[in-house]
Amino acid sequence: MMHNPPHPGEIIRELCLKPLDISVSEAARALGVSRKALSELLNGHTGISPEMALRLSIAFDTTPESWLAQQMQYDLWKARLKYKELKVERLKAA
């Protein structure tokens, strides 16, 4: 497991949009989403949905699974930060 993985939005911004030198508005138009929706993703306020993963995979010639895996790793890392706060009992067979 990666320690402190970046939010997938940061990866999109740094590794996909910056090298192409395109604006958020241009990228949103190409992805078929609103500028607000893409901006929220890029700024870490929302995550990558299965539909967005498909859009990203088409736009950047990747797989939707790779985008969803990044989101899952990020979400799991965030959840593990609260591990000790979880009130869960271990279940055992009778």
Other beta carbons less than 10 A from residue 24's beta carbon: 16
Which residue in 79, 77, 52 sits closest to 66, CA to CA?
Answer: 52
Which residue in 46, 70, 26, 6 sits closest to 18, CA to CA?
Answer: 26
Task: Tell me the helices (H) and strands (E) count for the chain, helix number first.
Answer: 6, 0
User: Which homologous superfamily does the CATH classification assign to the domain defined by 8-85?
Assistant: lambda repressor-like DNA-binding domains (1.10.260.40)
pLDDT for residue 84: 86
pLDDT per position as a tens digit, 72-81: 999 999 999 9
When pLDDT is averaged across residues 58-70 and rounded to a whole number, the result is 97
Other beta carbons less than 10 A from residue 48's beta carbon: 24
Domain ranges of the chain: 8-85
When pLDDT is averaged across residues 11-31 and rounded to a whole number, the result is 97
